[in-house]
Each structure stands twice: as C-alpha cells, then as structure tokens.
Structure 1
Amino acid sequence: MSDPRPSSTDVLIVGAGIAGASVAAALAPHRRVLMVEAEEAPGYHATGRSAAFWHESYGGPGVQPLSAASFDALARPAADFSDKPFLTPRTALTIGRGGAETAAVDAFVAEFRAKGVVVDRMGFDAMAALIPDLRPEWTAAAYEAACSDIDVGALHAAYLRAAKRGGAVLATRARFDGARRVTGGWEVSVGGETLRTELIVDAAGAWADMVAARCGIAPVGIQPYRRTVAQLRLDVPITADLPLIVHVGGDFYFKGAGEGRVWLSPHDETPSEPCDAAPEEWDVAVAIERMQSVVDWPVAAVERKWAGLRSFAPDRLPVFGADPAEPAFIWCAGQGGFGIQTSPAIGALLAAQLGAPAPGGAIGAVDAFAYAPGRFGAH
C-alpha cells in the first residue's frame, strides 16, 4: 500500500524497481526521498521478471568493474541490511563449437583475465563432466566458478526496507505525469497531484527517455528490448545445480532450475516500445531448438514462459549521474540485463553524488565518470 505522499521532498525517484530502490536505500538516511511507482507494487517489470545471476563477465568489460565491486555486498551483506546472503553458487560456462567460436572463447578468456576475472579455459572432456549429454562439436569453454544465482526478490525487498528505515516514502499507483523547472527545483505532477522537489532521479527503466521528455530533457537514446525466458521440464534427470551455459556468440543461455528442469532463453533482443512485455511462442521454440543443438535432452513440457524488457543506452553501458544540460535531472537508466548484479555499486555511487557519503572499498574505487550521461554530449 502507498504511504501518504508528501507535498515536497529533496529527491523524487521515478521508478521503484531495483535501480530506484538501491539509490533510495543508500540516500534516504541523508536526504528526504520520495519514490513514485506507476504500478500496484514495485518491481513489476524488469526486476520482477529477471532470471538474475551474478556473472562477472556478463555485460562485457565495460560493465565488469561495477559487477566485481558489487560482489561482496551481495555475498556478504551488512547485518543490518540482510541476515543472509543474496547469492547461491552456480558456476558458468561460456561455450563455443569449432573454428571462429573457439577463437572467440580464447579471446574471451584473455580479455577477462586481463581485467582480473578468474576464468579458466576448458576443452570437451572437462565440459562433458559438467554438462550431461553434451554434443561432441562443442569443444571450447570459459569456466567461471564464482557465477551465482541472485535472490532478486530478497534483494529488492531489502533495498525497500532500508529505504523506508532511512525515512524514504514509497507511493505506488503514482504515475509520473511531468515536471517543469522552477526556482530551487521542480514542480512535479504525479497522479493528478502537484508537489515540489529539488532533484528528479529517472530510474524508470524502459520508460526512462519518456520520463526525461516529460521534464523537457533531451533523451540519451534508451532502447528497450524484449527478452524471453521459459522453464522446461525435461525427460532426463538434469540436476538443479547445472551450470549457467552461455553461448559465446550470444545465441542462448540456460541453467538448472530444479531437478529435471531448466530455465532457458534464446538471448533475444527484439526492439520494443515500453510496455508490459509478453513472450512470443516463436521465441520459446527458438530457445528450445538452440538448447537441443548443445545437448540431447528431450523436452517433456514448457511449464512457464515470460518476457521482460531490458533497456540499453547506445553504447550498452549503464547511465547514471546528472544530465549535462540540466544538473537537477539525474539519470539512472540503461542497465540492460545486468542491473541486478550491479545495483549495490550503482546505488551507492549515485547516492554519493546526491548527498550520501562516498562509498569505500571496491565500490568507492570504481570510476563513476565512465557511466555519466555527459559522455553522450549535450544530446
């Protein structure tokens, strides 16, 4: 249920998914914070549909510093934030078959080792020991032992609890209608009501550019893409701890999801308008076909299928920080499929720009300037 909406605040955060909630959790003890969420409950869209895992190489070398810096906060959270870790060990294999794909696996290993990622090269025999019924043409893999599943629901709930404990207010069923610049901040329309705020944080995911436009801010080019996931029941006894299997060319991933079950995706990226995404039967069929090109596993049933929107900036790096043309408008967007695993770092780094203390440790060592919206110019 929504808390009563204040008539003024220091920081208005548009969107209460993992992006907005992580910023609110870090910032609320230091500034007055109001989160506004258009849906009945926070986390309905990308956050609530994530098949999230912490996979250090995921998102590429530009995202890796944020993922690496976030690991300790996910694996060993502070006692006042959570009484248990958010990670469950999984392991991951990035695989290829022959020729160019073998060369791509070798390049992958070299690139991420150079960044300090613990990744080992594997051949067929070692791969087959981890992947039952592996087809013989799959002969190359990069193995990451640290890959882990993330309990997204628990992490999101912990951020929301911390934000509330710090004094933040969450308003649901509160559509952001627009804002205009006034002396000392913004006059904002939310669900037919007017309020004042010093700063606006755009954490609206697929709707980020739309929110910017409603504030008179030029877009940075945030593009939503549909991603499909399905849960299969198999006619073979695959164990729940099957590694995350990722194609080096980006054609699929799948992982264990219980005894005799897997989650899989065709790694689709279909451009979409911001919407309540739904899966397409064709994409599920493609995912199954691609999985069965890797392993000889008969499918007994498609038990579930769903889709979500992953949103990317033009350079596919997250965008967080003040807009170069309007410093009272703050971007927190373009987090692709890696927003969950980078949320501790992005939340703390952005909150520090808005009045919270600078984070220490690995998070504090990240160069936040690399992700600032100013890299796109005045857009």
Structure 2
Amino acid sequence: MISPHGRVDIAIIGAGIAGASLAAELAPHVRVLLIEAEDMPGYHSTGRSAAFWHETLGGPHVQPLTRASYDALDRGGFLKLRASLAVAEHDALPLLDKMAADFAGTGVGLTRLDHDGVRHWVPRARPILVAGLLESTGADIDVAGLHASVQAAFRRAGGELITSRRIDAIERSGSDWVLRAGDWSVAAGIIVNAAGAWADGVALMAGAHPIGIQPKRRTIVQVRVSTDDVPETLPLVVDIAGSYYFRPEGANRLWLCPHDETPVEPGDAAPEEIDVAIAIDRFETVTDWKVVAVERKWAGLRSFAPDRLPVFGFDPKTPGFFWFAGQGGIGIQTAPAAALLGAALILGQAGPAGIDADRYTPARFG
C-alpha cells in the first residue's frame, strides 16, 4: 500500500471509465496510483451513462477508436446486440445524406429507410419521421460491469485506488510532481489528467494551459407508456438533427433523452424539470406512444474539447503531464482502444493499428 507522502511512477487523477481503463493497461508495467475525488469511482459521468456502442456516434474521426474497442467489449460479455436508427423529418434529410457520405468506405453498414422502413423498426412512428439510416451492428453496453472489470484488472496487476482525495495543489519537486489533497500527498513521475469535467482545473494547478474542456449536462428519463407493445427489438432511435433519442427498457418502458448539452460548471448534475418535459414532448411528437408515468430521472456530465474530439497525449509545454480527457459521449464505447493508445503513448510503444494518435494530440490546440 502506498503510504502518505510516498512515490509512484504514474498518478492518474480520475477513476471513471477513462482513468480506470488506462490504469489497468499501465499497471502491469509501472507503479500506478489511481486517485478519485469522490467516495465512488465514476460518480459523475460513467455511473450515469446510458451507453451504447455504435460506430457513427462521435463522427468518422472517432469511429476507428470505437471499432477497435468492439472485440474487447464483446469478449468481456459487456455487449447486448441492438440496432441503432437515425431518423429524420423532411427538413433534416440532408443530414442523413451527410451521415451516409461521412461513413462511406469505412465499413460501417448503413441502410437507408423510407417511412415504411422506419415503421418496421418503430411501429408507432408518426408520419413526421420520413426517413432513417439503420445501423444494424449496435449494442447496449453493460457500463457497470465494464467499469468494475477494469478496476479489478487494475488491482490484480498491483495498482492501488484511493478515493475521497480531491487534489487541491500540484507542484514540481525536481523531476517529480507532488500532488496534494489536504494534508495527504504523493509524488509521481507522470501525472495523467483523466479528471473529466475537472480536467482544465487540474491543468491549471499543474501550470499547464487549459484546453477548454467544457462539461455539459445530459438528462435521461425513464418513462412508462400506456401500452405494452414496446418491442424488445426496438433500436436506439436517434434524431439526426440532435434533439432527442430513446431506447427500450422493458415491455412498456423507455429511456428518453432530450439530447441536451447545457454548459455547466463541474459538479453534481441534477435533471431540470424543463428538460424532462422536453424529452417527453419530443418523444410524443414523433411516436404515438403516450407517457403515463415518469419513473426515474437523472443527469450526468459529458465533457468536450472545443473540436469535440478526445484529447490523448503529453502536454507539449508541460513535461510529464498527460492529457486523457474530453471523451464527451464516446468515452465508454471507446474505452478499450483509448486505454491501449494512452498506455502506448506513455510507455513509448506502438499504438493500436489503424488509429492515428496525432488526431487526438493536445498539441493541436497550439
């Protein structure tokens, strides 16, 4: 066990899916301490995610990470197959065309549907949904199982997790960093900034220039509808214009999201009643299912870099400071490949085949 004022090779700040996955990859090679501010890892984002694996989420520059993560997620038993369906009203048809063009030649299987095709998959779809693109290879992700698995792998490899330690000071001591949380401290040769919504604040403490990582609130509502004809095969249904998505959660239950991305300060996100109402209204506008009860509602944080791509790599002006942040809504579906890439960059090894690390470097922000 690492004693107060001890030293490790690498200190990872943030034990959500990003930090925990990277820690599990690094622990067999170096001494790693995983530091979590909350009592429970994944409290703000990972533990509140309605994660789904589909290659179109995040766009074509994220797709290589998503595809490279599939085998690990599948082998671990964390996937349950479910199609995803991007739907469009008439004015949004050009967005379907753009999506098809963006993924042409990538190997992502997309099938264009007219309204009747949409109704085949969403039997209560209203005529307002004139077309769709079906991605048949999606899957629900067992987020809790995945997060627990990488934490267990980290512990088996000799890594140590410490919770309830919110870092409040970072300073240099020779070639090391010293991280402090109250009267507790640890020295490390490398800091990994996997602090999610708090990533820019961690950078400032270390004297690195913030990138502009913006946390945004995302709301999920579990509702019960008046009929029991929500098919188990109902896809994840996503508005191509970005105003809602919904997915089944039982015979007459669904999860609804108003696709909100409200900029907020880092903290404990809570759902706003207006966002709950918007989610229900949009769902009832495009389907003729009627919501009869709101059973649960929650909100989490999704954090984005200015260009909405993840940030992986050493800070170009702050030696020993490694960014692993800005995963937005794709952090869980890309976690295995992102961890392999991050570990390779830290250890000076070759990264996963087919992934261009330069696309995600913090150096792109100047």
TM-score by length of 1: 0.93
- 1:167 is aligned, of 123, 145, 158, to 158
Q: CA deviation at 1:116?
A: 2.1
- 29 and 357 in structure 1: CA distance in 2 versus 1, 3 angstrom threshold: farther
Q: CA deviation at 1:357?
A: 5.1
Identity of aligned residues (%): 51
Q: CA deviation at 1:214?
A: 1.1
1: CA distance between counterparts of 2:32 and 2:124? 53
Q: CA deviation at 1:182?
A: 2.2
* Aligned pairs, number: 365
Matched residue, 2:316: 324
2: CA distance between counterparts of 1:338 and 1:220? 19
- 2:364 is aligned, of 357, 372, 375, to 375
Matched residue, 1:69: 68
2: CA distance between counterparts of 1:115 and 1:234? 38
Q: CA deviation at 1:188?
A: 1.7
8 Å CA contact retained: 1:3, 1:171: no
Matched residue, 1:298: 290
- 2:125 is aligned, of 105, 130, 134, to 134
Matched residue, 1:80: none
8 Å CA contact retained: 2:5, 2:185: no
- 2:274 is aligned, of 259, 267, 282, to 282
Matched residue, 1:9: 8
Cα deviations by residue, 1:41-69 (Å, 9 ceiling, x for unpaired)? 11111000000000110011221111111
Greater mean alpha carbon deviation, residues 257-266 or residues 177-186 = 177-186
Cα deviations by residue, 1:9-31 (Å, 9 ceiling, x for unpaired)? 00000000001001001000001
Matched residue, 2:45: 46
1: CA distance between counterparts of 2:252 and 2:5? 50
8 Å CA contact retained: 1:106, 1:121: no
Matched residue, 2:221: 230
- 5 and 132 in structure 1: CA distance in 2 versus 1, 3 angstrom threshold: farther
Which residue type is aligned with residue 359 of structure 2? Answer: A
Q: CA deviation at 1:129?
A: 1.1
2: CA distance between counterparts of 1:319 and 1:125? 41
2: CA distance between counterparts of 1:188 and 1:299? 49
Q: CA deviation at 1:117?
A: 1.0
2: CA distance between counterparts of 1:18 and 1:4? 25
- 1:366 is aligned, of 343, 355, 359, to 355
Matched residue, 2:81: 89
1: CA distance between counterparts of 2:78 and 2:357? 24
Matched residue, 2:94: 103
2: CA distance between counterparts of 1:102 and 1:148? 25
For structure 2, which runs of at least 5 residues remain unmatched after alignment?
none
Greater mean alpha carbon deviation, residues 67-76 or residues 13-22 = 67-76
Which residue type is aligned with residue 273 of structure 2? Answer: E
Which residue type is aligned with residue 26 of structure 2? Answer: L
Matched residue, 1:338: 330
1: CA distance between counterparts of 2:24 and 2:243? 36
Q: CA deviation at 1:3?
A: 7.6
Which residue type is aligned with residue 216 of structure 2? Answer: Y
Is 1:200 equivalent to 2:191 in the alignment?
yes
- 221 and 189 in structure 1: CA distance in 2 versus 1, 3 angstrom threshold: same
Cα deviations by residue, 1:242-291 (Å, 9 ceiling, x for unpaired)? 11000010000000011100001000011100010000000000011111
Secondary structure class of the residue paired with 2:306 = coil
8 Å CA contact retained: 1:23, 1:350: yes
Matched residue, 1:353: 345
What do you get for the CA RMSD once the two structures are aligned?
A: 1.4
Secondary structure class of the residue paired with 1:354 = helix
Q: CA deviation at 1:190?
A: 2.6
- 3 and 196 in structure 1: CA distance in 2 versus 1, 3 angstrom threshold: closer
Matched residue, 2:251: 259
8 Å CA contact retained: 2:5, 2:187: no
2: CA distance between counterparts of 1:293 and 1:59? 26
Matched residue, 2:167: 176
Which residue type is aligned with residue 167 of structure 1? Answer: G
Greater mean alpha carbon deviation, residues 4-13 or residues 137-146 = 4-13
Q: CA deviation at 1:113?
A: 2.4
Matched residue, 1:215: 206
2: CA distance between counterparts of 1:364 and 1:158? 24
2: CA distance between counterparts of 1:369 and 1:169? 30
Matched residue, 2:22: 23
